[in-house]
């Protein structure tokens, strides 16, 4: 796979996240599926403008549900936000439809790619511009911008997306979201089912999109190791709760994170007692 062409302009300087009000603020939300199944038990997090934030944790921790609560795809799956609030640019967005949210600049890239299989790669990208009203020229320009990040997609633009590789589908899905000119991309599990080298490459591009286009990113990822290297801040979820959060750097050096999520431990294998200690600690944090 060819490397993306170098951008002509230097990336603009990063905005100091700390001084800005949060772009997205999720305040202790509770999510119930089908009126009975409690999935999120009070999750709070925030994404600063221009930030790239990781939402980490194992299977079933509630990462995807959190993203879907923000993008309101939850409603189509009979899920409801029953407590707490979600604010985007200072406004509550819980009751908006996905269509309204995409217009406002919040778009989700779903887990497992979800490309339109029988549409060509280019048509897939164009569906991302469905909500835009700013004319064909601007959309064409953005198409070229997406091809700039993913030269591979330009080569495959005429192929049916269903016949492209997993990596190409992931690129198509990200490119499609980018076509809506979003302010915030909710990126769910981009590494799923991809070769480690490809994962690295895709994260590289996501990071560049974040820096060069000024798009904020909330990234749900099981692959803690990779995610903590490309994000600036991380939240770790377990059983529908955020159990730990901090700067990515700090999380990478945290002993518990190392032990349980990165699979490395300086002190060798720990004793059972320490595991219990961690569990106690987890409860306390939750």
Partner 1 sequence: MNTRMLTGWGFGVPGTIILIGLIFQLVTQVDSTFYFAWGYYFEILIAGLLQGVMYSLVALGFVLIFKASGVFNFAQGSMVLFAALTMVGLMEWGLHWALAFAATGAVMVLLAISIERVVLRPLVNQPHIILFMATIGIFYLLDGIGQTMWGSELKSLDIGIPRNSVEILENVFEGGILINRYDLVVAAIGAVMVAVLAVFFHKTRIGRALRAVADDHQAALSVGIPLKSIWVVVWTVAGLVALVAGIAWGGKLGVQFTLALIALKALPVLILGGLTSIPGAIVGGLIIGAGEQVSEIFLGHFIGSAIQSWFAYVLAMVFLLIRPEGLFGEKIIERV
Does 274 interact with partner 1 (rule: CB under 8 A)? no
Using the contact rule CB under 8 A, the part of the chain among 5-13, 37-45, 125-133, 245-253 near partner 1 is 125-133
Strand partners, 57: 237
H/E element, 139:
helix 136-149
Using CA atoms, how far apart are residues 80 and 32, in angstroms rounded to an integer? Answer: 5
Q: Is 189 helix (H, G, I), strand (E, B) or coil?
A: coil
Say if CB 169 and CB 124 are below 8 A apart: no
Rounded CA-CA distance 109/172 in Å is: 10
Does residue 116 touch partner 1 according to CB under 8 A?
Answer: yes
3-state secondary structure of 137: helix
Instruction: Considering the complex, state which of residue 192 and residue 262 has its C-beta at the smaller distance from partner 1.
Output: 192
The answer to whether residue 128 forms part of the interface with partner 1 (CB under 8 A) is yes
Query: Does residue 52 interact with partner 1 by CB under 8 A?
Result: no
C-alpha torsion angle, residues 204, 210, 216, 218 (rounded to 10) = 0
Count CB neighbours of 172 within 10 A. Answer: 30
To the nearest whole angstrom, how small is the minimum distance from the Cβ of residue 33 to partner 1? 12
* Interface with partner 1, residue 130, by CB under 8 A: yes
The verdict on 167 binding partner 1 (CB under 8 A) reads no
The one among 1, 15, 32, 126 contacting partner 1 by CB under 8 A? 126
List 80, 89, 123, 200, residue binding partner 1 (CB under 8 A):
123
If one asks whether residue 180 binds partner 1 (CB under 8 A), the answer comes out as yes
Q: Which residues contact 64 (CB under 8 A, 6 or more apart)?
A: 111, 188, 189, 220
User: DSSP E strands: which ranges in the chain?
Assistant: 22-33, 37-48, 52-57, 79-88, 91-92, 106-109, 184-188, 216-221, 233-238, 241-247
Residue among 51, 84, 49 at smallest CA distance from 65:
84
Residues in region 85-104 near partner 1 by CB under 8 A: 97-99, 101-103
Minimum CB distance to partner 1 smaller for 99 or for 140: 99
Q: Which of 81, 109, 243, 244 binds partner 1 (CB under 8 A)?
A: 109
Stretch that binds partner 1, among 128-136, 151-159, 212-220, 222-230 (CB under 8 A): 128-136
> In this chain, which stretch among 56-64, 79-87, 115-123, 234-242 interacts with partner 1, using CB under 8 A?
115-123
Q: Which of residues 213-232 bind partner 1 (CB under 8 A)?
A: none
Q: Is 116 helix (H, G, I), strand (E, B) or coil?
A: coil
Q: Which residues bind partner 1 (CB under 8 A)?
A: 71, 73, 76-78, 97-99, 101-103, 107-110, 114-119, 123-124, 126-128, 130-131, 160, 162-163, 166, 176-177, 180
């Amino acid at each position: 796979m060819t490397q993306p062409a170098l951008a002509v302009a230097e990336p603009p300087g990063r905005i100091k996240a700390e001084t800005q009000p949060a772009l997205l603020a999720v305040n202790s939300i509770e999510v119930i599926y089908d009126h009975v199944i409690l999935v999120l038990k009070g999750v709070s997090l925030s994404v600063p403008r221009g930030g790239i934030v990781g939402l980490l944790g194992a299977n079933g921790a509630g990462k995807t549900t959190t993203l879907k609560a923000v993008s309101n795809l939850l409603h189509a799956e009979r899920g409801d936000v029953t407590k707490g609030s979600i604010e985007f640019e200072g406004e509550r967005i819980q009751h908006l439809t996905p269509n309204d949210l995409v217009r406002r600049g919040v778009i989700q890239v779903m887990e497992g790619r979800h490309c339109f299989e029988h549409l060509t790669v280019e048509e897939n990208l164009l569906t991302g511009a469905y909500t835009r009203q700013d004319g064909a020229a601007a959309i064409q320009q953005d198409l070229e911008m997406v091809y700039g990040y993913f030269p591979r997609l330009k080569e495959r633009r005429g192929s049916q997306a269903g016949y492209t590789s997993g990596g190409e589908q992931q690129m198509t899905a990200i490119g499609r979201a980018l076509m809506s000119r979003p302010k915030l991309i909710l990126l769910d599990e981009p590494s799923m089912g991809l070769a480690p080298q490809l994962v690295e490459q895709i994260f590289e591009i996501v990071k560049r999109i974040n820096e060069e286009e000024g798009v904020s990113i909330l990234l749900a990822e099981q692959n803690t190791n990779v995610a903590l290297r490309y994000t600036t801040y991380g939240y770790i979820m377990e059983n529908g709760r955020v159990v730990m959060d901090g700067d990515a750097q700090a999380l990478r050096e945290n002993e518990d994170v190392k032990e349980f999520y990165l699979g490395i431990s300086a002190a060798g294998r720990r004793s059972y007692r320490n595991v219990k200690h961690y569990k106690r600690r987890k409860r306390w944090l939750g």
